[in-house]
Structure 1
Amino acid sequence: MIFLNDKKQFELTLKAIKKSEVKNTLVNLDDESVTLISEEKTIYMVFDEIKGCTYKKISKALASFLKANKKDLNIDVDSFFKINESKIDGIFDAVVETAMFENHKIISYKEKTVDKPNINLICKADKSARFNETAIKMEFVNFTRDLQDTPPNIATSVTIADKIATKAKEIKGLKVTVLNKKQIEDLKMGLLLSVNAGSYVEPRVVVLEYIGDPKKEKIGLVGKGITFDSGGYSLKPSNFMEGMKFDMSGATIMLSSVMALAKAQAKTNVMAIGLFTDNRIGGHATLVESVITSMNGKTVEITNTDAEGRLVLADGITYAVREAKVDKIIDAATLTGAIVIALGKWQTGVFSTNDQWYDEVAKAAQAGHEPIWRQPLLEEHLKAMQCSPVADLANSEPGRNAGSSTAAAFLDSFAEGKPFVHLDIAGTADDGKRGTGVMVKTIFELLNK
């Protein structure tokens, strides 16, 4: 448990200190090092000059310490403020968010698990409102992480939809809709159904709607929920299948963001749609060169069954535009390996043809301390996806050029002129072994106004 207080609750205390202010010769002076002075019952975390991002530096050092910590602990938040007194809010966010992230008991199926210790955050300033808001954000970051980390044999489309619906129904003001296969067929979501065709597990579409202020423009959040991606008949090599349980991250992130906003009673108007299925090989699985009709009537030639994420997203975007009548759209998806090559694990790739809508998202990402980087989205990228001789679009460009941008252009063509932002989280949704819940904080900051 983590709580905020103005006094010590436990025997041991972690304090931050500038290297230049260290008096005790026993304290290790290396940057970000920690030293326990047992007589003082204090652990000193030393910081040299901070030249880059204060949030990032403090979060990194604190995360490293908390991963190994097994004791109930006071963290002297006021001492961290002294590291850079011009960045107090950011430092508070770094300490609280990192503590809540690292102290969360993550999913484990081992015979023995260890409970996390208690953490008391000591802060003299009145930060209770900011703490409570952060607690809501991090609750749903961690909820997302738990879904991401659940093994794919357990986290099927049906199971995930049920878990999200159960959680959502506990929150006042949320309208919860879960569509089964028959209802999906009635909506003519042909692209989603084509991805699901090889699976024995039915697809599910989860829609959450929250109206905190009906006068505000309606924002649509769309998320890719591929519970496991084998690649279909365009089968992935075995080494590329590892981590494919995280391919449902975009959907859980978007749905969790709406739950966080509703719990915080944000003055916003938002809906989220998560489209869940796995992508398997089977007797009914979609073949390469098949032509499928999307929910909005466009036809798509399936040139690569491993480019399935953009298919489910396209039908989700159409639902947001035509059924939910949204004014603006954001989607999140672990969409392309190309974005991992471009940006690695350090930044989320962002695509938009609408500068104003992009700027709003970029400001929110900065406030949420989640690095992003804008990528190009040009008319030429869409033309590359209009290469099919038999359909309106192909689902995969014939070459390897600008793979993330051409995928974004494919999605943008389904937005029907609405301001659209695409978040490619393929490099940031997980750290290789565990989900990160990335972009929940950004969406929360964007719409919690």
Structure 2
Amino acid sequence: MITNNGPQFSLTLKAVESKQTVNDLVIKEDGAATLISEDKIVYYYVGDKKSLKDLGNNLERLIKANKYDLNIDVDSFLSIFIEQEETFQKIIESVVFASHKDLDYKETSGEPKSINFMFDEEYTPLYEASMIKMEYMDFARDLQDLPPNIGTSVEIANRLVEKAKGVPNVKVTVYDKKQIEALGMGLLLSVNAGSHVEARVVVMEYASDSSKKKTALVGKGITFDTGGYNLKPSNFIENMKFDMSGAAIVSSTVMALAKAKAKVNVVSIALLTDNRIGGHATLTESVITSMNGKTVEITNTDAEGRLVLADGLTFAVRETKADRAITVATLTGSIAIALGKWFNGTFSPSEEFYSEFEEAAQKAQESIWRMPLIDDHLKAMQCSKVADLANSEPGREAGSSTAAAFLNSFAEGKEYIHLDIAATADADKRGRAPMLRTMFELLNK
């Protein structure tokens, strides 16, 4: 249970630094926590570096290991760190993230300990905004953590519909296979062809201010990725249940914005299917017609995420009349090689839109890195002898950028940002729902 300025527990977490006189038993190492039982205080030591990123990581580890109901003296942290609002946000969101009860199906499962934040009332609006973000971030994380035999396209669609019932002014539309066929979403259907579970497209719309640019958030929702006939080897098939992370994140972002009563015009498009082998599965070298009419040669059935997103972008532009779009996807292994787990790969041909997004990422305290996106990347995807595009570039050069260029060709000239979260979507076999907070900050105006 999370409360703020409520009845206090026996123990309090309090920040201290070298300038202060503290008990000699306090471990004076950055991020160290020392319980002094006679004081009924857990002292959190802040070193000279005063890094908010380190603070968040340390608090997350501390709270996950915590065995006590705990007050957190937020004001003690604010007296040490210079960036007041940023520090407050980092504390609240890191602690709430770590306090969330992770999804499991164990016979017995412990409950997280209760937390009571103590802070000056002037921070209440910031607290309320952070709690909204974290509610839907945790919902997205629970969707990410679903085992693939439970978290099918149909089940995830149902859970999104059910969650949206509690959010005023969100319009939800679920498209089944027949409706997807009627829309001409050939690329999505080609990925779904080998599955006995039908594809779903879940569209969530929230328009509190129709005068604003309509922003479409398009999420890859591959509920499990075998690689299709370009079958993944065992060491790469692990964690493929997280390949639906983009769909969970974009849908949850719209619900968070609606609950926050943001002045925005936004729509999310979650493209849900698994990618299996089987008698009806799409063969390598097949040619498929996309929703916008471009033909695509399937040179690699394991490059399926860009296929569903391409049809999602066409839906965003033509059906929802979006002015700009963001795609969110666990798209390429190449991004992990380029950036590791430390950055979310970001691609955009739109300078103004990217600048606005970068500012939002700084406010959300999420790390992004802009990757190159040039004409030659698209030319590499125009290598097919029989179709307008190939879905996978020959060779291993600039794999993340060529994938982004493929997607950008379906944006039809609209302002566009692509987020490759393949290296950041999960950690230690748990979903982390990256970029939700950044998109919330971008649109919560």
TM-score range, shorter chain: over 0.9
> 2:272 corresponds to which residue?
276
1:310-389 matches, within 5 Å, as 310-389=306-385
Task: Render the CA deviation track for 1:313-341: whole Å, top value 9, x for unaligned.
Answer: 00000000000000001000000000000
Find the residue that maps to 1:120 and give its secondary structure.
Answer: strand
1:243-262 matches, within 5 Å, as 243-262=239-258
> 2:434 corresponds to which residue?
438
Q: Does 1:76 align with 2:73?
A: yes
Give, in angstroms, the shift of residue 125 of structure 1.
4.1
Q: Does 1:230 align with 2:226?
A: yes
Counterpart amino acid of residue 43 in structure 1: V
What TM-score does the superposition give when structure 1 sets the normalisation length? 0.98
> 1:59 corresponds to which residue?
56
Q: Does 1:218 align with 2:253?
A: no
* Whole-angstrom distance in 2 between the partners of 1:208 and 1:446: 18
* Aligned residues of 1:8 and 1:122 also touching (Cα < 8 A): no
* Aligned residues of 2:11 and 2:40 also touching (Cα < 8 A): yes
Where do 5+ consecutive residues of structure 1 fail to align?
Answer: none
Find the residue that maps to 1:3 and give its secondary structure.
Answer: strand
Give, in angstroms, the shift of residue 30 of structure 1.
1.7
> 1:15 corresponds to which residue?
14
Give, in angstroms, the shift of residue 20 of structure 1.
3.2
* Whole-angstrom distance in 1 between the partners of 2:269 and 2:255: 12
Where do 5+ consecutive residues of structure 2 fail to align?
Answer: none
* Whole-angstrom distance in 1 between the partners of 2:208 and 2:185: 29
Give, in angstroms, the shift of residue 124 of structure 1.
2.4
Counterpart amino acid of residue 76 in structure 1: D
Give, in angstroms, the shift of residue 8 of structure 1.
5.9
1:72-221 matches, within 5 Å, as 72-84=69-81, 86-221=82-217
> 1:413 corresponds to which residue?
409
* Whole-angstrom distance in 2 between the partners of 1:23 and 1:45: 11
* Whole-angstrom distance in 1 between the partners of 2:344 and 2:283: 31
> 1:41 corresponds to which residue?
40
* Aligned residues of 1:292 and 1:302 also touching (Cα < 8 A): yes
* Whole-angstrom distance in 2 between the partners of 1:44 and 1:414: 54
Give, in angstroms, the shift of residue 4 of structure 1.
1.4
* Whole-angstrom distance in 1 between the partners of 2:419 and 2:396: 20
* Whole-angstrom distance in 1 between the partners of 2:49 and 2:414: 42
What TM-score does the superposition give when structure 2 sets the normalisation length? 0.99
* Aligned residues of 2:202 and 2:271 also touching (Cα < 8 A): yes
* Whole-angstrom distance in 2 between the partners of 1:23 and 1:272: 51
* Whole-angstrom distance in 2 between the partners of 1:385 and 1:107: 40
Q: Which segment is superposed worse, 339-348 or 8-17?
A: 8-17
Find the residue that maps to 2:168 and give its secondary structure.
Answer: coil
Counterpart amino acid of residue 436 in structure 1: R
Counterpart amino acid of residue 2 in structure 2: I
Task: Render the CA deviation track for 1:287-333: whole Å, top value 9, x for unaligned.
Answer: 00000000000000000000000000000000000000000010000
Task: Render the CA deviation track for 1:258-292: whole Å, top value 9, x for unaligned.
Answer: 00001111000000100000000000000000000
* Aligned residues of 1:243 and 1:432 also touching (Cα < 8 A): no
Counterpart amino acid of residue 55 in structure 2: I
Give, in angstroms, the shift of residue 207 of structure 1.
0.2
